[in-house]
């Protein structure tokens, strides 16, 4: 049996590394991280969509590592806020120096005038795969629909700060409280993207189980 193929998880964020690793689970791939390869963090990418940003990240990380790379980019979609909210800037909308507490405070301020269905929000996530500077594949998919709660559960979350207020009434939980099984039941963004990534590697690159 040949050795597993090395693939770089194109992010310095441990939580996102965990999700990318989960997406690749079961494939004959050997995930590694930038720190394991002594790679410095790359500058923030810019793009018109989450998919173009993920593509740029994957290409740049694969070029820096000279190996296979997988990267992602995502953000919250809040239709009621219109031009006052852009999903690509979910992390930066409150200013470059804002911490998670300030980001959360600002989002809740923006949502104060809205009630019930007008508080609905979804998540869009994109994933891209590249090899030595060449883009191989990419996808951008929308996840489940929840609402923005009126207050956060906690700032101590294993995921992104906004997941403490992204609430699913049918489960009486915010996204950061959901189990993997519950996320699968919601057919969320990571679950759907995992199917695409697994299909790509098994079908197009012949990396069958």
Rounded Cα distance, 90 and 107, in Å: 10
Task: Supply the pLDDT for residue 205.
Answer: 64
For 16, 32, 89, the CA distances from 111, given in Å and listed in that order, are 27, 40, 17
| Sequential pLDDT tens for the chain (209 residues) | 467 899 999 999 888 999 999 999 999 999 999 999 999 888 777 889 999 999 999 999 999 999 999 999 999 999 999 998 889 888 777 777 888 888 889 999 999 999 999 999 999 999 999 999 999 999 999 999 999 999 887 655 455 789 999 999 999 999 989 998 999 999 899 999 999 999 999 987 665 44
Task: Supply the pLDDT for residue 3.
Answer: 78
Q: What is the 8-class DSSP label of residue 26?
A: T
On whether residue 89 sits in a domain, the answer given is yes
Residue 62 CA from chain centroid, whole number:
18
CATH code at position 90: 3.90.950.10
What's the domain range around 42?
5-203
Rounded Cα distance, 5 and 160, in Å: 30
Instruction: Tell me the H-state helices in the chain.
Output: 14-24, 50-65, 100-111, 180-186, 189-203
Per the structure, the count of domains in the chain is 1
On whether residue 208 sits in a domain, the answer given is no
Rounded Cα distance, 33 and 85, in Å: 32
Sign of CA dihedral 182, 86, 194, 58: negative
Task: Supply the pLDDT for residue 206.
Answer: 62
Task: Supply the pLDDT for residue 1.
Answer: 46
pLDDT, tens only, 9-31: 999 988 899 999 999 999 999 99
On whether residue 53 sits in a domain, the answer given is yes
Task: Supply the pLDDT for residue 115.
Answer: 95
Q: What is the mean pLDDT of the chain?
A: 90
Residue 73 catalytic? yes
Task: Supply the pLDDT for residue 156.
Answer: 55
On whether residue 118 sits in a domain, the answer given is yes
Task: Supply the pLDDT for residue 108.
Answer: 93
On whether residue 26 sits in a domain, the answer given is yes
Tokens of residue 79, six digits: 């239709």
On whether residue 209 sits in a domain, the answer given is no
Q: Is 1 exposed, middle or buried (0-12, 13-18, 19+ CB in 10 A)?
A: exposed
On whether residue 123 sits in a domain, the answer given is yes
Catalytic residue among 3, 15, 60, 73: 73
């Amino acid at each position: 049996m040949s050795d597993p193929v090395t693939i770089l998880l194109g992010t310095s964020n441990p939580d996102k590394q965990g999700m990318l690793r989960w997406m690749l689970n079961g494939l004959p791939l050997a995930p590694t991280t930038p720190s394991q390869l002594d790679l410095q963090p790359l500058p923030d990418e810019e793009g018109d969509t989450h998919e173009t940003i993920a593509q740029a990240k994957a290409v740049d990380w694969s070029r820096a590592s000279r190996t296979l790379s997988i990267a992602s980019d995502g953000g919250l979609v809040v239709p009621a806020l219109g031009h006052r909210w852009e999903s690509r800037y979910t992390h930066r909308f409150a200013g470059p120096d804002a911490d998670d507490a300030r980001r959360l405070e600002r989002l809740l301020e923006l949502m104060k005038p809205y009630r019930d269905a007008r508080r609905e929000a979804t998540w869009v996530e994109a994933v891209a795969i590249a090899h030595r500077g060449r883009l191989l594949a990419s996808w951008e998919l929308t996840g489940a629909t929840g609402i923005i709660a009126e207050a956060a559960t906690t700032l101590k979350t294993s995921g992104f700060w906004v997941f403490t207020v992204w609430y699913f009434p049918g489960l009486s939980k915010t996204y950061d409280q959901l189990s993997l099984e519950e996320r699968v039941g919601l057919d969320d963004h990571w679950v759907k993207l995992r199917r695409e990534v697994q299909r790509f590697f098994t079908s197009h690159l012949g990396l069958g189980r």
